[in-house]
Structure 1
Amino acid sequence: MIESVEPNIFGPCWPAIRGSGMKTISILSVRSRSGVWTLVILPFLIACLARPIPVTVAVDGQRRTFYTRGTTVREALAQAGISLGDLDRVSPPETARITPGMVITVTRITQTLEVQEIQIPFPRQVLKDARLAPGETRLIRRGEPGVEHVMIRITWADGQPIERQEIHRERIRDPVPEIVAVSLQGEVASLPVSGTLVFLARRDAWQIVGETTRILRRTNLGDLDGRIFTLSPDGDFLLFSRASLTSTRTVLNALWGLYLPADSPRPQPVGLENVLWLEWSPQGDRVAFTTGEPSPGPPGWRAHNDLWIGRWKNGRIEARRVLTPTAGGPYGWWGMAWAWSPDGRRLAFGRTDGIGMLDLESLKATTLLTFPVYETRSAWAWVPALSWSPDGRYLAALVHGPPRSGEPPEQSTRFDLWIVAVDDGWARPLVEDVGLWAGILWSPQGLFFGQARQPEAGDASRYDLYWADHDGSDRRRVFPPEGEIGFGGQPDMRWAPDGQGLLIRYQGDLYYLAIPSGQVYRLTAQGDIAAMAWR
């Protein structure tokens, strides 16, 4: 039965029980033949009547052994008057039950902050200087290291460091690069150059004459904008655009020409302005071009999406408009891509939403492929790269592909290389997922195209140059050399006039890829070449 009892029956254990806050203590009485047995089930009474247990505590460099009536490590430490900090570690855990002879270890944990001053090594920039003798170097500017402040949090265990963690870093001073000029000798290959090879650097035109070590400056204008820089098929005439500096009205550019075989070539205006695209026909008897107008906002122009066909006559271009201005489809303000067919009878065109072909005799336009517009979310638009097969039967084109994983079609970062049979009416993908800046050049030896290293990264990916057979088989990487950084955009390349190699513009210089050996030769050490042409 359950009954209430008076406090005095618990003797010396009453203070502990009283501290629990109970006013009445219940006990269970079991009656036997000899009397009454009483079993008290209160935990406080059991702890009070239990025998003390010896434990040892290691703390603050000392070991103490004492007897405790506590049931857990936490209670034993409290009985011994040992206080714990927020970071202190206890072994065994504070909730562990006490056992005879237990050793309790308290590790004092503290943390401090330390600020270190770190020097940042300065980079070394190398300038190529043709005036220096072979092996000669010249210090242009001394480098200075930068400075960073690094805040470190140090964790201490019983006065010994056990962890260092960086929690903040602040750049105090940027390093100043060291600039050293070195000789060009030995870095640039000395190779014979067939045909006419010109390039644009420092906003002027230059020509490599006879061999790669002989470079002549062909203009001294300082305002070539690089939008138009093209040679006639025979290599005699160079057409280039200049940013207008003297016109009393606002224009995008003005077109000028240069007759290179002259003893002292002198640039002359050819009578055209606001040209967005221009290219000679393969036969060299005509030029095709499109125009635009200045725009106050990015990208700085608005395309007319027209088309003109002109002829070179007495140092000027006389042209007629064959297509009137149009909207040009979605994002038409950017303009369209164009490419002459090898026979000069047709022009392939690329818009943001498809590719087609224009017959120059009938002026009939035919759509060959359509695809979703690529949404750039910026002040530029993507239009497909185009390249005709040498026989004019096929067109290679970059096509905006389907989504990768459920994103809207206009946001897909997949771009595929397609081949289109322009007369037979079929088209199929040749190489998938090459990237939006792949670029294409269809040579007699096969297809050269860019391949994105990270196609899913969109316009941020770097590119390698690949070669493949006409049907897309036997793909192989050909440039840049292993370990070098990839192209930052669409690879710029030209087929050599003698059919023995490929001219590549890379990192501001010209390189020659010999075919079929694959040997790479560096032709210049300019570092700032912005355009090139080779006929």
Structure 2
Amino acid sequence: MRLYHPRQAPGAIRCGHPGWINLLAALLLAWITSACAAPQATQALIQVELAADGETLKVNLNAGSTVQQALDRAGVGLDALDRTEPQSYTVLSDGAKVKLIRVSEIFEVEQVVLPFERQTLRNESLPVEKEVLIQRGKNGLQEITYRRVFEDGVEVSSQPIPVNSVILEEPVPEIRMIGVQTPFSPVDIPGRLYYLRDGNLWKIEGNTGDRRAVLTTGDLDGRVVSVSPDENWVLFTRGSDVDGRINDLWAGFIGEPAEGGSVAGQEDQTLVDLGVDNVIHFADWAPGSNSKIYFSTVEPRPTAPGWQANNDLLSLTFADTGWTTQWVTIIEANSGGVYGWWGTEYRWSPDGRWLAYARPDSIGYVDYKTREITKTLDIVSLQTFGDWAWVPGTAWGPDGNVLYTTEPGVSEGSNVAESSPDFDMSAGRFDNGSFLRLVRQTGMFAYPLASPLQQLSTGDLEYQIAFLQAETPERSETSAYRIEVMDRDGSNRRTLFPDEESPGIDPQQYWGAWSTAPLPDGGGLALAVVYQGNLWLVDVNSGETFQVTGDGLTTRVIWR
């Protein structure tokens, strides 16, 4: 029997052949892998409602989208002021509602009238209740810009919001002068009295009833008031409106005008800005000069006392045209010793030979030619436990040989002069450096003043010293004071003013001035005194007193 077998195609795999087994394994592996893989899911969608520009839109978004993405999908843009509820970064959920609020603003400009102020100046040279219009008032004009806010066309600002203000025209105050002439009898005087009253400088000549304003800027701060040797100019400080500046130093012409010229006190009087600011302690004319001045400066500070002293000394020369020289430095800015932040006082001797200085820790003199400082007397610096420092007051004798001052003493039960309540008046000479205590326990604010030289019946020349004596020397910082007078050597001491029935004097550095000659009609030398804001004259020989002003506005006095 013949057997026949089917022919196998080339490359075919027989069952049981290794290739067949590999194929089955690969198919099985692919099936197992596909069975274990995670199912592919489509990302979920959410739908939100968008209200914008008067329409409501349904917007489909991917889950996790924000308000901003919803706006982008809807093709809605945001302007700079527009806002949404909820805010644009908020993630939305299905069914959320979004509101777009269109915000706009407009600006309106309004002009407002600024009413002028009314000021009244009291003038003792006018009869009582007589009124004179000095300056007509004029309203000013202010421009104010307001902002109004709208949301979806509806105004939401409760009232317009001011965002800018400009003064187009400053108001001009109305100034009226009213007479307050006092019933004080006029008194004949030698020389001329200058006194600072309510920010203006006044002059009395001949008798106390003849007075007139010679400088009427109204802003003299009283730090510096000095009349030139020829009495044609006054050196003064005036308050400053500039931020970070205390005051400015000026010179004003107060002499008699040339024929056909203006009268001092009118708007066109000559004023020269010297270009110097922040002068607290010293500015004065050079001896014998009517155009050269010396001065010292400070740096303003926001904390008490309001400055940091430079303790410098400078000079300049000016002309009535407004021209000034460059500053010449005599003493460079320096620390000023103990408590030097307060400052240094300077004082010329009558003959111009010496320029004394006084500061919290010493007294001495400046050689303004060699620009050297010489210390003559050490002062134990007083601990004030406050934002001020004590500087001893000084006064030259009329011959320029002796300087009078005040220095701390040592009280019983205390050996520490820095805290001693005792203060004594001393006198000394710069040529030999010796100082002698003349009066014990005057108080810290004695501020001595030396009279002019007087010729005695013997032909000798003498002078007197007036000073402030504390009523309670052990508490002299807060005590009231009374004026006492003594001979130059401390003898013949007596209380002069005010009388026992009247309150004492509030001590000030510039409390008074000596007359340049005796009062007429057999009177003696007189003292002009600032007492309770009024000007008084006191005959030193007889003790007779004369009240000159009564408006309570006088702060300084100069007798020439």
Does TM, scored on the shorter chain, surpass 0.5?
yes
Q: Go from structure 1 to structure 2 and tell me whether the alpha carbon gap of 1:335 and 1:189 turns closer, same or farther (over 3 Å shift).
A: farther
Q: How does 1:122-521 map to 2 (within 5 A)?
A: 131-132=127-128, 184-186=181-183, 188-245=184-241, 247=242, 250-261=244-255, 262=257, 263-265=262-264, 266=269, 267-276=271-280, 277-285=282-290, 286-314=292-320, 316=322, 318=325, 319-406=327-414, 408-443=416-451, 444=453, 445-490=463-508, 492-498=511-517, 500-521=525-546
Take 1:313 and 1:184, find their aligned partners in 2: how far apart are those partners? 38
Q: Go from structure 1 to structure 2 and tell me whether the alpha carbon gap of 1:270 and 1:128 turns closer, same or farther (over 3 Å shift).
A: closer
Take 2:470 and 2:536, find their aligned partners in 1: how far apart are those partners? 20
Take 1:330 and 1:509, find their aligned partners in 2: how far apart are those partners? 36
| Partner amino acid, structure 2, of 1:259 | F
Take 1:466 and 1:264, find their aligned partners in 2: how far apart are those partners? 40
Deviations 1:238-293 (A, max 9, x none): 11111112x4x531111122211224222332332222211224423542210012
Question: How far off its partner does 1:183 sit?
Answer: 6.5
Q: Go from structure 1 to structure 2 and tell me whether the alpha carbon gap of 1:244 and 1:471 turns closer, same or farther (over 3 Å shift).
A: same
Secondary structure of the equivalent of 2:535?
Answer: strand
Q: Who is 2:81 aligned against?
A: none
Deviations 1:90-144 (A, max 9, x none): xxxxxxxxxxxxxxxxxxxxxxxxxxxxxxxxxxxxx99754389xxxxxxxxxx
Q: Is contact 1:287-1:310 (8 Å) kept? A: yes
Q: Is contact 1:345-1:360 (8 Å) kept? A: no
Task: Return structure 1 stretches of 4+ with deviation > 6 angstroms.
Answer: none
Secondary structure of the equivalent of 1:410?
Answer: helix
| Partner amino acid, structure 1, of 2:512 | M
| Partner amino acid, structure 1, of 2:225 | F
Q: Go from structure 1 to structure 2 and tell me whether the alpha carbon gap of 1:243 and 1:128 turns closer, same or farther (over 3 Å shift).
A: closer
Question: How far off its partner does 1:448 sit?
Answer: 0.8
Q: Who is 2:141 aligned against?
A: none
Q: Is contact 1:399-1:418 (8 Å) kept? A: yes
Take 2:318 and 2:392, find their aligned partners in 1: how far apart are those partners? 29
Q: What TM-score, normalized by structure 2, do the two folds share? A: 0.60
Take 2:438 and 2:468, find their aligned partners in 1: how far apart are those partners? 13
Take 2:419 and 2:550, find their aligned partners in 1: how far apart are those partners? 39
| Partner amino acid, structure 2, of 1:201 | R
Q: Who is 2:97 aligned against?
A: none
Q: Is contact 1:466-1:479 (8 Å) kept? A: yes
Take 1:189 and 1:385, find their aligned partners in 2: how far apart are those partners? 34
Take 2:251 and 2:190, find their aligned partners in 1: how far apart are those partners? 22
Take 2:500 and 2:408, find their aligned partners in 1: how far apart are those partners? 29
Question: How far off its partner does 1:431 sit?
Answer: 0.6
| Partner amino acid, structure 2, of 1:496 | S
Q: How many residues align?
A: 360
Q: Go from structure 1 to structure 2 and tell me whether the alpha carbon gap of 1:525 and 1:391 turns closer, same or farther (over 3 Å shift).
A: same
Q: Go from structure 1 to structure 2 and tell me whether the alpha carbon gap of 1:315 and 1:489 turns closer, same or farther (over 3 Å shift).
A: farther
Q: Go from structure 1 to structure 2 and tell me whether the alpha carbon gap of 1:270 and 1:484 turns closer, same or farther (over 3 Å shift).
A: same
Take 1:371 and 1:520, find their aligned partners in 2: how far apart are those partners? 36
Deviates more, 1:408-417 or 1:309-318: 309-318
Question: How far off its partner does 1:208 sit?
Answer: 2.4
Q: Is contact 2:512-2:558 (8 Å) kept? A: no
Take 1:185 and 1:347, find their aligned partners in 2: how far apart are those partners? 41
| Partner amino acid, structure 2, of 1:205 | L
Q: Go from structure 1 to structure 2 and tell me whether the alpha carbon gap of 1:497 and 1:462 turns closer, same or farther (over 3 Å shift).
A: same
Q: Is contact 1:226-1:241 (8 Å) kept? A: yes
Q: Is contact 1:238-1:257 (8 Å) kept? A: yes
Q: Is contact 1:241-1:253 (8 Å) kept? A: yes
Take 2:485 and 2:474, find their aligned partners in 1: how far apart are those partners? 21
Take 1:290 and 1:345, find their aligned partners in 2: how far apart are those partners? 19
Deviations 1:68-111 (A, max 9, x none): xxxxxxxxxxxxxxxxxxxxxxxxxxxxxxxxxxxxxxxxxxxx
Secondary structure of the equivalent of 1:437?
Answer: coil
* Unpaired segments ≥5 residues, structure 1: 1-126, 135-180
Q: Who is 1:534 aligned against?
A: 559
Q: Go from structure 1 to structure 2 and tell me whether the alpha carbon gap of 1:421 and 1:407 turns closer, same or farther (over 3 Å shift).
A: closer
Deviations 1:273-328 (A, max 9, x none): 22221122442354221001211011111111000133343355544110000001
* Unpaired segments ≥5 residues, structure 2: 1-121, 131-177, 454-462, 519-524
Take 1:292 and 1:508, find their aligned partners in 2: how far apart are those partners? 28
| Partner amino acid, structure 1, of 2:517 | D
Secondary structure of the equivalent of 2:288?
Answer: coil
Q: Is contact 2:406-2:425 (8 Å) kept? A: yes
Take 1:203 and 1:314, find their aligned partners in 2: how far apart are those partners? 22
Q: Go from structure 1 to structure 2 and tell me whether the alpha carbon gap of 1:194 and 1:253 turns closer, same or farther (over 3 Å shift).
A: same
Secondary structure of the equivalent of 1:456?
Answer: helix
